[in-house]
């Protein structure tokens, strides 16, 4: 939440997209929600860096296809300039490589421009609460892709975290084992759950059991 004139206003949102009509449309959609506030827009990465540094938004809606740089490549710099900002990809790119690259870069979610505005608003609220959001159609595709290769959608680090989770390691124990922060472990957990279409550790363990991964990974 952002303070303004001594009061609290809604979650602040900015749009980073090369197309003015998209940015203007998002300003209208976001502005129509009482708990959200449109804080600004930028058409390229360079302007985006200055925008987030100046406005410190809660959520930045970022198109992957930005002039001169891919949106997910800009994500680390956006987060460096405004650590509290959650980057939510809003794009038409549905290929697996784009999704994997974006999630690997640390985005908080992936929304498709073909989705209804209501789903975009819920995605904004979700990532602002610290959750990871993945478009339902992409989540379904990830689940379908697990039939032959259950963990094909996971990155190498996510695969390591998955293995430790289903072996009963706590977040803190995983952090110690992999020499990463507990916050990073939680981020990997969100990504794993979204990619595999599960919602809890119990479901993740059942997924592992159903795919023969508990025995093969030496789990008790």
CA distance 163 to 207: 12
| Residue range 16-40: mean pLDDT, rounded | 96
- pLDDT tens figures, 66-83: 887 877 788 889 999 999
Show the tokens assigned to 176: 């110690």
Per residue in 88-136, pLDDT tens?
999 998 877 777 777 777 788 899 999 999 999 999 999 998 888 888 8
Mean pLDDT of 128-150: 71
pTM over 0.85: no
| pLDDT number for residue 146 | 52
Residue 216 pLDDT? 42
Delineate the domains of the chain, giving CATH numbers in brackets. Answer: 2-136 (3.40.50.2300), 146-216 (1.10.10.10)
pLDDT digits (tens, 9 = 90+) for 155-206: 888 888 998 988 888 999 999 999 999 999 999 898 888 888 888 887 887 7
Residue 147 has a pLDDT of 53
Res 152: pLDDT: 77
pLDDT tens for 43-66 read 999 999 999 999 999 999 999 888
Is 41 a residue whose pLDDT tops 90? yes
CB atoms within 10 A of CB 189: 19
pLDDT band at residue 31 using 50, 70 and 90 as cut-offs:
very high
Q: Is the pLDDT of residue 139 over 70?
A: no
pLDDT value for 50? 96
Judge whether 70 and 64 are in contact, CB under 8 Å: yes
Predicted confidence (pLDDT) at residue 6 exceeds the cutoff of 90: no
Q: pLDDT at residue 4 above 50?
A: no
**Which residues, 6+ apart, have CB-to-CB distance to 210 below 8 Å?**
none
């Amino acid at each position: 939440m952002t303070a303004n004139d001594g009061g609290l206003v809604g979650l602040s949102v900015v749009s980073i997209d090369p197309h003015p009509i998209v940015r203007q449309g998002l300003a209208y959609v976001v502005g129509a929600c009482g708990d959200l506030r449109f804080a600004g827009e930028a058409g390229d990465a360079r302007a985006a860096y200055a925008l987030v540094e100046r406005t410190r938004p809660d959520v930045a809606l970022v198109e992957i296809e930005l002039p001169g740089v891919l949106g997910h490549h800009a994500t680390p710099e956006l987060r460096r300039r405004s650590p509290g900002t959650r980057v939510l990809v809003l794009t038409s790119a549905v290929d697996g490589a784009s999704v994997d690259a974006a999630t690997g870069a640390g985005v908080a979610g992936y929304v498709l421009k073909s989705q209804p505005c209501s789903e975009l608003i819920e995605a904004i609220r979700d990532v602002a609460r610290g959750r990871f959001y993945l478009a339902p159609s992409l989540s379904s595709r990830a689940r379908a892709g697990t039939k032959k290769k259950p963990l094909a959608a996971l990155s190498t680090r996510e695969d390591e975290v998955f293995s430790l989770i289903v072996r009963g390691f706590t977040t803190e124990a995983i952090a110690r084992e992999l020499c990463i922060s507990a916050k990073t472990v939680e981020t990997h957990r969100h990504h794993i759950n979204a990619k595999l279409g599960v919602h809890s550790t119990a479901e993740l363990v059942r997924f592992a059991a159903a795919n023969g991964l508990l025995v093969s990974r030496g789990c008790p």
